[in-house]
Structure 1
Amino acid sequence: MKTQLNAFILTLCLTTVMACNANSKSNQQDLAIAETKIETKSKYDKPEIKVALLLDTSNSMDGLIDQAKAQLWQVVNELSYAKCKDESPNLKIALYEYGNNKLNADEGYLRQVIAFSDDLDEISKSLFSLTTDGGEEYCGKVISTALNQLQWGNDKDDLKLIFIAGNEPYTQGNVSYKTASKLAHQNDVTVNTIFCGDYNQGITSYWKDGADLTHGNYMAINHNQATVHVASPYDDKILELNEKLNRTYVAYGSTGRKKMEMQAEQDSNARSYNKANAVSRTVSKSSRLYKNSSWDLVDAEKEDDFSYDQLKEEQLPKELKGKSKAEIKSYVEKKRKERETLQKAIAELNIKRQGYIESKTKDSDNGLENALIKAIKAQAKQKNYKWEKS
């Protein structure tokens, strides 16, 4: 029986995993599976930060899931300042839940919630969809599954990380965490472990060993700690600009309207924690990482494969129906300029906001957020990533 109901996991993984007693032939088969998931990238593509979040959704993890929901935008904002060889890397996040009785026992009580995605609204929606229930937590199994299912790529400049958090022994289940960690290391994926509880207890239950095998970070946090959000004199103005920013989106295509509704829904989810968290989301929305080319004409026309000639009348929003191509382009250009002006204003206010917050929070500790950022920066440094705030 468990001493506590499970932990929450935020994981970035690239591993193929085997049972503890697996023979060498099955090990080779797993490695072959992992290799089939590797995709090549054009030399012109930007480097990527790939983070696989494996979240334990057992009963005792409500606090940790709350931290993830409340701190997502701060983590995104910090990653928006990353540089690799003078390029701004793209960010992709994947999400798994595990350790929940509502999940399929035959599949190891785990589920892929979302594959690697750069759609921040979809990622937020996925986080807010999670609910907790008791279950069995198999660290090796969930790492193995994420390794097999996700497209990790093989670019040496990519930063590929696993974050796994929990409070049960790391050795549970019939898939060896050692085999999983070895494969992750071989494929340039770093496993970081976050134990929810006492630091030394995490060591004795092998969470530190799981990180050490891939030269990752072992961290222990208080997963029930409330997230600290500091209000600033600039918050109201930033939120006012957010409303104007939303009006610069030109939804098109079959999913445009639903995506715009999702954008508003995630604004509301951020506000559900408090005003300061909604401000953090607004800052993310004004950053280079918030991209919506699949449904927004302003973002879409930046893409190399976009053509106004391919737009059909039924794809257009009401305000553009019956307009000529020249009129549509003029409208989109107007919205682009409005957006750029708003983004610049938000960025300038955020610089002042950050200065105010730093003066008020000398030693604040937002558990999960700080653990994630600390590990990412430490491992990014090994690949010559830098952080540039301007």
Structure 2
Amino acid sequence: MIKIQKALAIGFMAMSINLGYGCKNEPKNEKQILLVQRVEPNKKPNKRTVKIALLLDTSNSMDGLINQAKSQLWDIVNEFTRAKCGNETRPDLQIALYQYGNDDLSYREGYIQQVLNFSSDLDEISKKLFSLTTNGGEEYCGEVIQTSLKQLEWGKNPDNLRIIFIAGNEPFTQGRLNYKDAVTNAKENDVVVNTIFCGNYEQGIETEWKRGAQLTGGEYMAIDHNREVVHINTPYDDIIIQLNSKLNKTYISYGAMASEYEEKQASQDENAMSIGYGVAIKRAVSKSSRLYNNKSWDLVDASADDDFSLEKVEKESLPEELKGKSNQEIEKYINGKREERERIQAEIAEINKKREIYIAENQKENTQGELESVMLSAIKKQAAQKNYTWD
């Protein structure tokens, strides 16, 4: 009996500790901190994560939607650099990508394809967005929602934000799977479904896009997916582009796929520029933020991790300038590149503040992107319910 009472007491104490944490709350006192360290000595505190799944219609009429997604990814990332959870904690951002409604996709899979699993690799997200092409097809909204719920690892942390954005322009009711079953499943798993109808607001209501969002407490939005975003030229644009080139030279690629990752970084700079000068600038700003991390192939980012050790790095995988060097020489080289990068990133951030002020003073109405505006509005509203804030 005494053993049972002790077990219950320990269980109650552990439960109290867990309840003492939230997105905005810190541990309540020193005793709790010591107890947490004693019970789970090997576990790091759970970092909050925002998980967003983009489900994009890639049928014939959706070229404008895809172009908006390509160009406005960096607006969303840059806004997330300001997100806060608690006094100092900054949440991670992961994005997954699905396409649906395209004849090039498998009929057996419901014309649905997972293009990218949840990822924080911003270059890879950009690459996958630029890989999308459109073609005619059947748009099964309920089925693509259900597929994303089944295939993706959404996690169980109640403080994490789990969001689906589905965009398209055909009736929400198409397909064998009733969309109501899919969104009910989403709600049961603490996933909010937001619907973006590409067309007339009232038409989206009539075709049940609004109802699809309401059932999970999500937002219904309608956009003009063919609208082009106007870039406002500023005196700071060229400076940021030049700094971006300098920033790229601070990366120390290593590993078997080092050259591929370097090429991907450069090609996504080119892709951004192909959409517009303004997009290239926004990407450069994203690259100066905490969310642009390439520790899988860059020694500067990798060495910032607590568990990093040069001893574990295969010397054959190092760039030519570091081969044959001692660990002390390599560390000195890495630290030099880190200092250079931090200096450039700080300069980009400072110049971008001036750029944003200039834009605010000179922009006319309706210069923001349709997709980016509605997504950020919904994200901030839903994030507030879990005590996320923005600077």
TM class, shorter-chain normalised? 0.7 to 0.9
Residue of structure 1 in register with 2:27 after alignment:
none
Secondary structure in 2 matching 1:106: coil
Match of 1:164 in 2: 166
Q: CA deviation at 1:43?
A: 5.7
- Using the TM superposition, name which of 192-201 and 360-369 deviates more: 360-369
Query: Which one of the candidate residues 361, 367, 371 is aligned to 1:368?
Result: 371
Partner residue in 2 for 1:116: 118
Q: Would you say how many aligned residue pairs link Structure 1 and Structure 2? A: 348
Match of 1:12 in 2: none
1:135-284 alignment runs, 5 A limit = 135-284=137-286
Q: Please name the residue that 1:321 is paired with.
A: 323
Could you say which residue in structure 2 is the equivalent of 1:387?
390
SS at match of 1:105: coil
TM-superposed CA distance for 1:361, in Å, is: 2.1
Rg (Cα) greater in structure:
2
Structure 2 residue aligned with 1:75: 76
1:13 equivalent in structure 2: none
Deviation per CA, 1:302-355, whole angstroms, max 9, x where unpaired?
123321011122110111000000000000000000000000000000111111
Q: Distance in 1 between matches of 2:85 and 2:243?
A: 30
Q: Which amino acid aligns with 1:266?
A: Q
Residue 363 (structure 1) shift:
2.4
Percent of counterpart pairs with the same letter?
58
Output the amino acid matched with 1:199: Y
Give the unaligned 5+ runs of structure 2.
1-41
Aligned to 1:11: none
List, as ranges, runs of 4+ consecutive aligned residues in structure 1 with deviation greater than 6 Å.
none
Separation in 2 of the partners of 1:83 and 1:378? Answer: 14
Q: For residue 359 of structure 1, what is the aligned residue in structure 2?
A: 361
Indicate whether 1:285 and 2:290 are aligned. no
For residues 56 and 216 of structure 1, the distance between their equivalents in structure 2, rounded to whole angstroms, comes to 19
Aligned residue for 1:49, secondary structure, equals strand
Per-residue deviation at 1:146? Answer: 0.6
1:43–1:152 distance in 2 versus 1, CA, 3 Å:
farther
Letter paired with 2:56: L
SS of alignment partner, residue 275 of structure 2: coil
Structure 1, unmatched stretches of 5+, are 1-40
What is the correspondence of 1:10-89 to structure 2 with a 5 Å cutoff? 44-86=45-87, 87-89=89-91
Distance 1:357 1:223 in 2: 23
Q: Match of 1:240, as an amino acid?
A: Q
User: TM-score w.r.t. structure 2 length?
Assistant: 0.88
In angstroms, what is the RMSD of aligned CA positions? 1.1
Q: Which secondary structure does the structure 2 equivalent of 1:52 belong to?
A: strand
Cα distance, 1:84 vs structure 2: 1.0
AA paired with 2:371? L
Residue 147 of structure 2 aligns with an amino acid whose one-letter code is T
Deviation at 1:133, TM superposition (A): 0.4
Partner of 2:348, secondary structure, is: helix
SS at match of 1:165: strand
Q: Once the two structures are superposed, what CA deviation does each residue of 1:134-157 show, in whole Å capped at 9, x if it has no partner? A: 000000110111101101111111
* Helix, strand or coil at the partner of 2:139: coil
Q: Which amino acid aligns with 2:240?
A: I
1:75 CA drift (Å):
0.9
2: CA distance, partners of 1:149 / 1:43? 27
Please state whether the residue corresponding to 2:216 is helix, strand or coil: coil
Deviates most, 189-198 or 352-361:
352-361
